[in-house]
A and B are shown apart, each in its own frame.
Chain A
Amino acid sequence: MPGPPAGNGGAPAGDSTAAPAPPRPRPGDPPITPELVDDHGLSPDEYAQVRRILGREPTFTELGVFSAMWSEHCGYKNSKRLLRLLPTQAPWVIQGPGENAGVIDVGGGWALAFKIESHNHPSAVEPYQGAATGIGGILRDVFTMGARPVATLNSLHFGDLDRPRVRYLFGGVVKGIGDYGNCVGIPSTGGEVYFDRGYEDNPIVNAMCLGLMRTDELIRGTAEGVGNTLMAVGARTGRDGIHGATFASEELSEGDDEASRPQVQVGDPFTEKLLLEASLELIASGHIVGIQDMGAAGLTSSGVEMAGRSGTGVEMDVALVPVREEGMTPYEILLSESQERMLVVAAAGNEDAVREILEKWELEAETIGRVTATGSFRVLEGGIAVADIPALPLTEGCPTYERHGAEGDEVRALREMDIAPYVEPPAGLEDAFLRVVGSPNVASKQWVYEQYDTTVRGNSVERPGGDAGVIRIPGTARGVAASTDCNGRHTYLNPRRGAMGAVAEAARNVACTGAVPMAVTNCLNFGSPLKPHIQHQFREAVLGMRDACAYLETPVTGGNVSFYNETDGKAVYPTPVIGMIGVIDDVEAVVRHAFRDPGDPIFLLGASTGELGGSEYLYVLHGLVAGEPPPVDLAAERALQRCILAMAQLRLLKSAHDVAGGGLAATLTECCLGRPRTGRSVGANVRFTDPLPDADLLFGEDHGRVVATCAPADEERLRRLAADYGVPCERIGTVTGPGAPLEIETESSALRLEAETLRDRYYGVIPEIMN
């Protein structure tokens, strides 16, 4: 149904006091056919709803706007209803879900803005730019709240490193993250890197950012005040990343590498750094009332969301938007995802002051429209209307679905599989120990984090390589700890347990540094929500997260959902990544993971049950992802964490390290080896009296456990404190001298692992593969 060609004689740009003219199709717009609607990811029912909202057929431009706003990426149509089940409230939560980032009160007049976001699809196609722009986007989400970014973390999941393509993706993603974050000058303080064949075609690239501000400096992404001015700020708009949001809401298929490249944006960290400084100066100046990143769905989502949040309308003219190339259509300008751009609402009359600040930072700021009282998202091109859509239905009216799927047969069979025949190490305990410690999942990620600037800005108290990164709040003794966690194998085998485990582990990591876990941001990476077994995974994972976050009193303040992580019908493991934030009053009291002095007693806090289901051990020695993953006893977990925090506060702990992937074998190795370059390795004599079989004991990934040391004189106090909290506490050994071996005795075996051997395995494996 092609519309009539638009004439040249529209109303002059800018002033329209009469009833606004309805939008008309532009010359060259394709006709709106069912195929075109389908290409835009809208179902026939959803399209019917579009027509009801408008009371007419949409123009091509409007179809693009609906497609982007109702994509999974912007509209959360398949996740919103379940996400409402998550706990989001606590007295310390200043801003919950729905803004650019969550914000919590971290004490002393300081607020922390933080968020995690995915850039999986672009990274699968172009790893360097995909990952780089992921960092750029998450930084903007934080500094548009008025907070100065102070740390980043990354949760990365790739296929097995024996595949050349995986090595290419891994290397490219790490370099992309490094080059972008290093140039902007934000320290990377932690994260996780995980390898499993379940991620072979679709890497998971999640970036998290933490930013600090005074509690009274918060600004929101709203378009308040009719008559105020909309300004496009930062980089010019080009043809890159058009429909990235819709792209991120589809499956990939063979051959997508080439065809999808134009949907991948290109990052410029230098412009980002200028934009960061300019934005913070702009916010501090008081000249603006709202600011938002032009991220996914670019000018469209930023305009619509800002209007939606404040219940106003916006009108903008795309002819006024600074562009990189001639001849861009309104459709392209509205949906471009060119990076390093902001939409700013300036108080009327302050436009020149805004421009002056941007000019200092060698950036552009152009007036492109104004805030209206119409409640509409109205777009003109040289004065002629090309889109006019009620703003609220675009954000709030996005159709939402709650689908109850069912567990897939394949995964049920794996979960219910009897793993007992695989428990005996095939080539002896020492061989198993060294293979687990030398598995890329357990081995040191030094090769990764040494490509990231970890010390810039002079507040990195605990850098990557420990349990959680800790950043000092400038000018204070206070610190913020952060960790990202998700064991994809556990969530694959049992999404509810796995998600609970991710929350528990993230909180435990934070608690091990002495910081009190406070709040969560999450990034939910799944396959297609249209498939029943994925629906089941998603629902179960959300429920597990809900239970754990509620029990551990760590509300969810926001995050991101990434569906359609599939290639040719094969989905990634369900991967609900948890980004946990903790607060410590005095960074001098931060507890680190490494054993320190000979003679210090070593304790295992928490009970061992020997959980080998979904373990690194089964994967490395038998290539198996099977069995029931470790259960999470939330009461025991909370008691353990409170106990560790009490010990840390009394400064009883000389070290504390969480037990997770690779079990006690991994934990003890890391405690002995300490940090590369600066640390010294020490040995340990460990003796277990637990009757569990050797493999269960050394490689079980049971939750709720921490290996800790104290000074010999403090042993009784530590035991008493553990008893007060009802936490099992067993002395398992003693720290020995520098360079000494790790000696482990169980009821049936004895191991002597030389420091050199452990070091070679633990530090050597990833550089050996990658260099």
Chain B
Amino acid sequence: MNVAIITFPGSNCDQDCHRSVELAGGSPRYVWHRETSLGGAEAVIVPGGFAHGDYLRPGAIARFSPIMDAVADFARAGGLIVGICNGFQVLCEAGLLPGALLRNESLCFQSHHCRMRVERSDTAFTAGYREGQVLGIPLSHADGNYFADPDTLAALEAERRVVFRYCDARGDASPDANPNGSLNNIAGIVNARGNVLGMMPHPDRAIEAVLGSVDGLPLFESLIGALARAEVA
């Protein structure tokens, strides 16, 4: 299962994603942002970091990197894409996902454990979870405050495209459980077709018990599993 990990100058979670894919049984490969082809990849991960230094605003320059045309074509063809943290920001800037990620309400960079609820287990990325399952997972960002206009937000909710929502230990998506001011406690969404996922928390940092959590691993296993099923079919 060949998974491309897009690497921009300033990406810094590329290695974490690499290991996550390996642990999930896939074959990760780095693809430098200046390349123009995904080289036959079956799935794409846009990792976290500070692509192009986050200058101007996160993702605003990365969307113009040569590889992004290939990523957009891949999305249009129904290929599976995961954007994590800065990767989510890049996918929003590139128009592959709706909405924007604003500065955290605290105005500070925040790096800590959070909880999020799995809203759907019927996507290619979440088949390994139970609906309503509460995941413990690290987040680490300054701009994770999800925003969309009222119509877009209503559509996201109506079409069940919110995949992860910040919640408390009991699974309530309460205002207190919202770390950054995101509308409707949104932590992750998919596009209308369901093949592009963007999320702010880091499943790639929750793949080993010794590091505090394994709640992120099923996401990568789900992805690899979906690719395997596609291959059989």
> B-contacting residues of A (Cβ < 8 Å)?
175, 178-179, 182-185, 268-271, 273-274, 361-362, 449-461, 472, 587-588, 676-678
Contact = CB atoms under 8 A, between A and B. Distances in A.
A458 B112 contact: no
Contacts of B113: 677-678
B64 interface: no
Contacts of A269: 50, 53
Nearest to B212: A678
Interface string B167-206: 0000000000000000000000000000000000010110
Contacts of A185: 12-13, 49-50
A451 B141 CA distance: 9
B101 to A, nearest CB: 16
Given A361-B9, A457-B16, A178 B109 contact: yes
Contacts of B49: 185
A278 to B, nearest CB: 10
Contacts of A459: 211
Nearest to A270: B53
B57 interface: no
Given A270-B10, A455-B205, A461 B210 contact: yes
Contact of A456 (B16, B19, B108, B208): B16
11 contacts: A175-B108, A178-B109, A182-B140, A185-B13, A268-B53, A270-B10, A450-B108, A452-B111, A456-B13, A456-B48, A457-B12
Most buried by B among A453, A587, A588: A453
Given A457-B16, A461-B210, A273 B9 contact: yes
Contact of A270 (B9, B13, B136): B9
B111 A472 contact: no
Given A455-B211, A456-B48, A677-B114, 14 more contacts: A182-B50, A183-B10, A183-B12, A183-B53, A185-B13, A270-B53, A449-B111, A453-B111, A454-B111, A455-B111, A458-B208, A459-B211, A472-B210, A678-B113
A25 B202 CA distance: 59
A184 B9 contact: no
A273 B10 contact: yes
A269 B52 CA distance: 11
Given A178-B109, A455-B205, A677-B113, A588 B50 contact: no
Nearest to B140: A453
Contact of A450 (B111, B136, B205, B208): B111
Contacts of B55: 270
Interface string B124-138: 000000000000101
A677 B112 contact: yes
Nearest to A179: B109
B123 interface: no
Nearest to B110: A450
B15 A457 contact: yes
- For the residues of B in contact with A, the DSSP-based class is mixed
Contacts of A451: 108-111
Nearest to B106: A771
A398 to B, nearest CB: 38
Contact of A587 (B10, B110, B142, B210): B210
A265 B92 CA distance: 34
A456 B205 contact: yes
Given A179-B109, A453-B109, A678-B136, A458 B10 contact: no
B207 interface: yes
Chain B interface size range: 20 to 34
A472 B210 CA distance: 10
Contacts of B19: 458
B183 to A, nearest CB: 23
Contacts of A587: 210
A268 B108 CA distance: 19
A677 B48 CA distance: 23
A458 B9 contact: no
A184 B111 contact: no
A590 to B, nearest CB: 8
A184 B12 contact: yes
Nearest to B49: A185
A556 B134 CA distance: 47
Contact of A455 (B9, B142, B202): B202
Given A270-B55, A362-B9, A461-B210, A183 B50 contact: yes
A362 B8 CA distance: 11
Contact of B207 (A183, A457, A458, A678): A458
Nearest to A590: B210
Interface string B210-221: 111000000000
9 closest A-B pairs by beta carbon, nearest first, are A185-B12, A270-B53, A458-B16, A183-B50, A677-B113, A455-B138, A455-B205, A678-B113, A453-B111
B10 A455 contact: no
A682 B48 CA distance: 36
B87 to A, nearest CB: 14
B35 to A, nearest CB: 12
B52 A270 contact: yes
B211 A460 contact: yes
Contacts of A588: 210
A587 B211 CA distance: 10
B140 A270 contact: no
Contacts of A361: 9
B50 A456 contact: no
A677 B51 CA distance: 29
A268 B212 CA distance: 32
Contacts of B205: 455-456, 458
Contacts of B136: 678
A472 B202 CA distance: 19
Contacts of A454: 111, 140
B109 A182 contact: yes
A456 B109 contact: no
A459 B19 CA distance: 11
Contacts of B111: 182, 449-455
A175 B52 CA distance: 20
B194 to A, nearest CB: 28
B102 to A, nearest CB: 17
A460 B55 CA distance: 28
B51 to A, nearest CB: 9
Contacts of B138: 455
A486 B17 CA distance: 38
Interface in B1-56: 9-10, 12-13, 15-16, 19, 48-50, 52-55
A362 B208 CA distance: 35
Nearest to A184: B12
A270 B207 CA distance: 27
B161 to A, nearest CB: 28
A179 B142 CA distance: 9
A473 to B, nearest CB: 12
Contact of B211 (A178, A182, A184, A461): A461
Contacts of B110: 450-451
A599 B212 CA distance: 24
Nearest to B208: A458
A539 to B, nearest CB: 41
A453 B142 CA distance: 10
A36 B208 CA distance: 61
A457 B10 CA distance: 13
A460 B15 CA distance: 14
B15 A274 contact: no
A587 B209 CA distance: 11
B139 to A, nearest CB: 9
A270 B50 contact: yes
Contacts of B108: 175, 178, 450-451
B126 to A, nearest CB: 21
B204 A458 contact: yes
Contacts of B208: 458
A216 B136 CA distance: 39
Contacts of B13: 185, 456-457
A457 B136 CA distance: 18
Nearest to A770: B108
A711 to B, nearest CB: 20
A318 B84 CA distance: 45
